[in-house]
Amino acid sequence: MDQHAEHHHYQYKAQGESEVTANVTYRDAIITIELKDKHGKAPELGVSHEKEMHLIVVSADLKEYIHGHPEKQADGVYMLQRELRDNDYKVFVDIAPKNLSYTVSPITLHVGHAYHPNHGNELKVDTDFVKMVDGYSVELKANNIEAGQDISLLFDLRGATPEPYLGALGHVVILDENAEHFIHVHPVSDDKTQFKTVLTEAGKYKLWAEFQFDGEVYVYAYVIEIK
């Protein structure tokens, strides 16, 4: 990253109806998240899949993907050390505040001066759903990919044995082309790498599937189209 980018300090608020507001800033390779309820107080968070907070960061062009778990520094303040390149990002703060409503909404984050505003990504739908990462092959088998219908996402790990990761055999994050609609889903059972969800609108979506093999987490990206 360029030297100047590390010292820029940007702040944006999540949009959408929610009783909790998430503010995200980036400075000196540290992402800081500040949470406040409508009275300006820090909300109490429940634990979801072993963590109080799951932070998803994607570049505006959906090419970069980060799934991290910021650590609590003070009431309502969480930090994650991660160097970001000069780019535009969408940040999703995935939390479960106790006794408060909350909707995960995209937070725009500009890093450095190399802005690349997203005027609508043109995702290319995959024709080959077998992905290889560091010798581990994973195939996505999707059924009933129609808007408003239950969608089954079955991942064939080609003989590899996944290890429990954050309390599940895998995690899947789904975003629409414009990175406005966020879905984070987990397997339907403790012994299958099968996921189910509903996408209400037709269009192209990018999904990232995370599995852990031999102590390391691998990420597999796919682009699907909902009719």
Tens of pLDDT, residue by residue over 179-208, are 999 999 999 998 999 999 999 999 999 999
Is residue 121 a part of any domain in this protein? no
Whether residues 8 and 53 fall in one domain? yes
| Residue 4 banded pLDDT, cuts 50, 70, 90 | very low
User: Which of 111, 142, 165 is the endpoint of a domain?
Assistant: 111
φ and ψ of 159, to 5 deg: 90, -15
Poorest-pLDDT segment among 46-55, 115-124, 147-156, 213-222: 115-124
Determine contact, residues 206/62, Cβ cutoff 8 Å: yes
Is residue 174 a part of any domain in this protein? yes
Q: What is the DSSP string of 150-211?
A: EEEEEEE-TT--PBPBTTBS-EEEEEETTS--EEEE-BSSSS--EEEEE--S-EEEEEEEEE
Whether residues 217 and 174 fall in one domain? yes
User: Which of 81, 111, 141 is the endpoint of a domain?
Assistant: 111
The C-alpha atoms of residue 75 and residue 45 are separated, in whole angstroms, by: 10
- For residue 175, the enclosing domain spans 130-226
> Rounded mean pLDDT of the chain?
90
Section 107-134 average pLDDT: 84
pTM for the whole thing?
A: 0.88
CATH number at residue 197: 2.60.40.1220
Q: Where is 72: in which H helix or E strand? A: strand 71-74
Whether residues 157 and 197 fall in one domain? yes
User: Which of 67, 83, 111 is the endpoint of a domain?
Assistant: 111
The C-alpha atoms of residue 222 and residue 131 are separated, in whole angstroms, by: 8
Residue with tokens 């005027």, as numbered in its chain: 119
CATH number at residue 15: 2.60.40.10
pLDDT in tens, 138-177: 999 998 789 999 999 999 999 999 999 999 999 999 999 9
Whether residues 152 and 64 fall in one domain? no
